[in-house]
């Protein structure tokens, strides 16, 4: 019997997602996303991706362009090709030489800099916080 | 009580030997039951529904994938266990469910490994395997939370139970369906395929023109707006250990 695959979500180049993008599991973004991203797993943003969204994820690796506030529970990797504008909070931060960061950076287990934009995303976010507690 | 439904095409003489072997094996296994032969001009779905109403607790579709499709439609929400004895070598469902063709399928039926499997529904029509959408500019609205804009050159499919491929394995027991969106890009290095994969429970597809959607490789549905949802664990199917999920 074959093993069942994980619930990975992929947004490829040329595809555009708008709204409260709430995902169970890992997510890979190579296309465009506007709104809010909430992922219970790892987030990867590719070098050609364009993201204009508030983000909450377990961990993240960013190689493309991101505008918005970001809260990462574990490790955030900003690769050399990444351009980030906004406020970010992460437990562990790695910034590659050449990566652009414009905004405030908070490390450790502090509260996120600003609330997420979408109402439903806020609800989902607070629900996941309660579960974690 | 087992109720067997033989598809109309099995009346062809070339299937006589296969059916004889099948019935002998079912008798040996002690799971022989009532046999109903579906006819060309008789609504198979209604015939199966009547049998369920009369108390059949296991419906067995004998024939090909079309036979199984009709049985799925007939079983509906009754939670009646559904078995499949494929007699066609071109059965996609048989391979997905791990059921061999011909008399060997009787042993799978006898083992009675029943799995609760999700069913997809598009505009009130149910499907087990997948939907294929004709290429068109489309907007997909998922869970009333977010929209996905798909360029016209892309092909869209919706999967429930499908063969493992470059997008991985789709799990028909997770309560979700998956949009698989494929696009081709041409570059200096040649043609490159981009694949998006978006799991969902409920979605609407809106297209800029009338398109056809092929349901489970058979029936076609035409329109510009479609409602799709996953119905978790609705189908109780007898599967083999070699199933693809």
For residue B200, the distance in angstroms to the closest alpha carbon of chain A comes to 9
Any bridge partners for residue A110, and if so which?
none
As a dihedral over the C-alpha atoms of residue B39, residue B42, residue B43, residue B48, rounded to 10 degrees, the angle is: -60
- pLDDT tens readout for residues B71-84: 998 998 898 999 99
In a domain, B207, yes or no: yes
pTM of the model: 0.84
pLDDT at B198 over 90: yes
CATH number, domain of B175, equals: 2.60.200.40
Query: Where does a domain end: B86, B112, B138?
Result: B112
Q: B8 is in which domain, residue-wise?
A: 2-112
Q: Which of A5, A14, A24 is opposite residue B169, by nearest beta carbon? A: A5
- Inter-chain contact B196–A31, Cβ cutoff 8 Å? yes
Containing domain of residue A59, as a range? 9-119
pLDDT of residue A2: 32
| Average pLDDT score, chain B | 91
Structurally, chain A folds into a number of domains equal to 1
Do the beta carbons of residue A90 and residue A72 sit within 8 Å?
yes
Q: Which of B112, B132, B157 is the last residue of a domain?
A: B112
| ipTM value for the complex | 0.84
Reading chain A (133 residues) residue by residue, the pLDDT tens digits are 333 344 689 999 999 999 999 999 999 999 999 999 999 999 999 999 999 999 999 999 999 999 999 999 999 999 999 999 999 999 999 999 999 999 999 987 555 555 555 555 555 555 555 555 4
For chain B, helix (H) and strand (E) counts, in that order, are: 5, 14
Same-domain status, B66 and B104: yes
Kindly list the residues of chain B whose beta carbon comes within 8 Å of any beta carbon in chain A.
98, 143, 145-151, 154, 164, 167-171, 173-174, 176, 181, 183, 185, 194-199, 241-245
State the Cα–Cα distance between residues B198 and B157, nearest whole angstrom. 11
Same domain, B87 and B148: no
B104 and B173 together in one domain: no
CB pairs under 8 A between A and B: 84
Yes or no, beta carbons of A21 and B145 under 8 Å apart: yes
> Could you tell me if B143 and B178 lie in one domain?
yes
Q: Which residues contact A129 (CB under 8 A, 6 or more apart)?
A: none
Tens-place pLDDT, residues A70-107: 999 999 999 999 999 999 999 999 999 999 999 999 98
Total tally of structural domains belonging to chain B: 2
């Amino acid at each position: 019997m074959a093993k069942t695959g994980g619930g990975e979500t992929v947004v490829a180049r040329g595809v555009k997602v708008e709204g409260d993008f709430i995902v169970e599991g890992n997510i890979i973004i190579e296309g465009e996303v506007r709104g809010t991203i909430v992922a219970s797993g790892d987030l990867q943003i590719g070098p050609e991706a364009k993201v204009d969204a508030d983000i909450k994820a377990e961990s993240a690796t960013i190689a493309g362009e991101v505008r918005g506030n970001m809260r990462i529970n574990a490790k955030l990797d900003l690769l050399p090709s990444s351009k980030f504008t906004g406020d970010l909070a992460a437990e562990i931060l790695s910034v590659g030489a050449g990566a652009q960061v414009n905004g405030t950076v908070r490390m450790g287990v502090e509260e996120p800099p600003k609330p997420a934009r979408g109402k439903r995303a806020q609800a989902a976010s607070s629900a996941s916080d309660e579960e974690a507690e | 009580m087992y109720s067997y439904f033989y598809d109309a095409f099995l009346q062809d003489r070339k299937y006589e030997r296969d059916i004889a072997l099948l019935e002998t094996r079912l008798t040996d296994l002690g799971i022989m039951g009532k046999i109903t032969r579906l006819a060309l001009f008789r609504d198979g779905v209604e015939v199966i529904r009547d049998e369920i109403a009369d108390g059949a607790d296991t419906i067995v579709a004998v024939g090909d994938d079309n036979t199984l499709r009709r049985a799925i439609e007939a079983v509906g929400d009754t939670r009646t266990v559904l078995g499949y004895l494929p007699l066609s070598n071109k059965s996609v469902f048989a391979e997905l469910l791990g059921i061999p063709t011909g008399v060997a399928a009787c042993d799978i039926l006898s083992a009675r490994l029943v799995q609760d499997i999700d069913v997809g529904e598009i505009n009130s029509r149910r499907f087990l395997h997948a939907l294929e959408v004709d290429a068109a500019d489309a907007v997909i609205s998922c869970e009333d939370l977010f929209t996905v804009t798909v360029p016209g050159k892309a092909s869209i499919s919706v999967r429930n139970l499908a063969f493992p491929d470059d997008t991985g394995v789709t799990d028909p027991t997770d309560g979700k369906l998956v949009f698989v969106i494929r696009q081709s890009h041409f570059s200096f290095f040649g043609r490159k395929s981009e694949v998006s994969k978006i799991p969902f429970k409920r979605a609407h597809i809106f297209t800029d023109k009338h398109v056809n959607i092929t349901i489970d490789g058979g029936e076609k549905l035409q329109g510009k707006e479609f409602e799709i949802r996953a119905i978790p664990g609705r189908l109780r199917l007898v599967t083999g250990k070699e199933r693809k999920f």
